[in-house]
Structure 1
Amino acid sequence: MLISAEARAVFVHVQKTGGVTVERHLRSQLPDAEVLRERHAPLTKALQRRPEIADFYVFGFVRNPWARLVSWWSMVDHWHRNGAGAPIVARQQARAAAGVVADDAAQDPMRGLTHQRNKFWQAVAGYGSFERFVLEGPAEWPRLRTPQVAMLSAPGREADFVGRTERLDTDFAAVCERLGVEPPPPGRRNSSGHGHYTDYYDDRTRQVVADLFAPDVERFGYRFGD
């Protein structure tokens, strides 16, 4: 979550919705931008801790829930398959010697070490398959079963603007105009390399996600295959 008292704005960072791109740009445009320690705090918790932001402009982004879970799984699986168990610095040195361009974790040893020590990342990597991730993960990790709409609402208060990852460039440009800052240039965001999300599902896992995120499907009109 990012707060700017000067812009009187709150960005609720829902995981796997393009929030890193949004956060990075806002920090470059808003000198007083403050990223809360609990980066993915829901609006309810933020209002409890910082009641002075109650009348700030609140915004965030959502994503097709089926695509979002595939993105989440693929991120951790990629990290795991690229040597999560090996010392990060040693892996960085080996890749450099081989002339391989390192991934983000290898470029930033501390980031990689943080992931090694993160129980959630370790647990997700331990599922071993996307099917187990979907069938078992939500029961064990609340963040995997929390509807996005719940992140962006609180008793008596909802986000003023909810954009979509699927049209991040135009929706974020609208937010920037509202805040009086320059939008980032339209461009290619991080490519996934994991193929189309629909290929990861069977009938059972598809329905599990539909049930878990029914509030998102109903509120934002998402459909499997969009």
Structure 2
Amino acid sequence: MIATSRFVYVHLHKSGGTFVNECLERFFPDARRLGYHLPARLIPEDLQSLPVLGFVRSPWSYYVSWYTFQAQMARPNALFRCVSEDRRLDFPGTIRNLLDLGNDDDRLDALLAQLPATYGQQGLNLPGFALAPIRGSGKGFYSFLFDYMYGDSRGPLAIGRVESLRRDLLDFLGRIEQPISAELRAFIEQAAPRNTSTHGSYRDYYDDALAALVAERDRHVIEAFGYRFGA
């Protein structure tokens, strides 16, 4: 989470945040970090009327990015270890478990016991109490995470899409009448992506059944932002 005098940026996991964070910290002199992957409900009281900037991506793409990023780590996080059964499962098996997390009491209980009790400054930064409401929600993990991060915002929400991040970020800054220097514009338009995972097209990771399961569990995000598999 980064605050400026005109808006607050809330960083949804694996959704363009490293690029946006660097942009704000390099080109906005009044930008200040308020925490790591914190939800909008934790925006300080004196800033809660400001617009809240966020970004979302295709859930099908998110799961591939998350899986490939965690799979290459020497010590993946507790969530990945739990749903991949300590790396024994491949992508389809891991993502099915992740999508079913809210319906699997035993798996969820085992995971919650491993998560921290308070917020920290690294990783997904999702304490046990924050993930617990996924139980019985019927939501896919990404839709749950999206609602958790942005659902309690008091300020007006401005959610761009990762797939059009550069254009959407410039459009947002224009709407709030933020001065855009030549250097800032050049960074947004030309800087290389940051913190990307190495993988092929997300479409290649899915069979029809798994793609349909994502469509069902993450339909809230998919419908709200006009996503289609393969588009």
* 1:158, distance to aligned residue in structure 2 (A): 4.6
Displacement after TM superposition at 1:132 (Å): 2.1
Residue 223 of structure 1 deviates from its aligned partner by: 0.8
Output aligned runs, 1:89-104, within 5 Å: none
Q: 1:53 aligns with which of 22, 47, 50?
A: 47
The alpha-carbon deviation at position 203 of structure 1 amounts to: 2.3
Matched, 1:131 2:88: no
Q: 2:201 aligns with which of 196, 199, 218?
A: 196
Alignment match, 2:34: 36
Number of the residue aligned with 1:209:
214
Distance 1:146 1:193, change over 3 A: closer
Does the 8 Å CA contact 1:14/1:60 hold for their aligned counterparts?
yes
| Native 8 Å contact 2:6 2:50 kept in 1 | yes
Instruction: Report the CA distance shift for 1:155/1:195 in structure 2 as closer, same or farther (over 3 A).
Output: closer
- CA shift, 1:74, in A, is 0.9
Equivalent position SS for 2:224: helix
Paired amino acid for 1:136: N
**1:1-226 map, 5 Å:** 1-4=1-4, 7-37=5-35, 39-43=36-40, 45-47=41-43, 50-79=44-73, 84=74, 116=75, 118-120=77-79, 122-123=81-82, 126-127=86-87, 128-138=89-99, 139=101, 140=108, 142=131, 145-147=141-143, 149-150=146-147, 151-154=149-152, 158-159=156-157, 161-177=158-174, 178=176, 179-181=178-180, 182-183=184-185, 184-187=187-190, 188-190=192-194, 192-226=197-231
Aligned sequence identity (%): 29
Cα distance in 1 between the residues matched to 2:94 and 2:37: 20
**1:219 CA drift (Å):** 0.8
Task: Give the Cα separation in 1 of the matches to 2:208 and 2:76.
Answer: 34
Structure 2 stretches of 5 or more lacking a match?
Answer: 102-107, 112-130, 135-139
2:189 alignment partner, SS class: coil
Counterpart amino acid of 1:145? F
Residues 1:25 and 1:224: Cα distance change in structure 2 (over 3 Å) = same
Q: Distance in 2 between matches of 1:74 and 1:27?
A: 28
More helix by share: 1
Superposed CA RMSD: 2.6
Amino acid at match of 2:78: K
1:14 Cα offset (Å): 0.9
Q: TM-score, normalised on structure 2?
A: 0.69
- Number of residue pairs aligned between Structure 1 and Structure 2: 184
Q: 1:136 to 1:149 in 2, by over 3 A?
A: closer
Of 125-134 and 146-155, deviating more is 146-155
How far apart are 1:207 and its partner, in Å?
2.1
Unaligned runs of 5+ in 1: 85-115
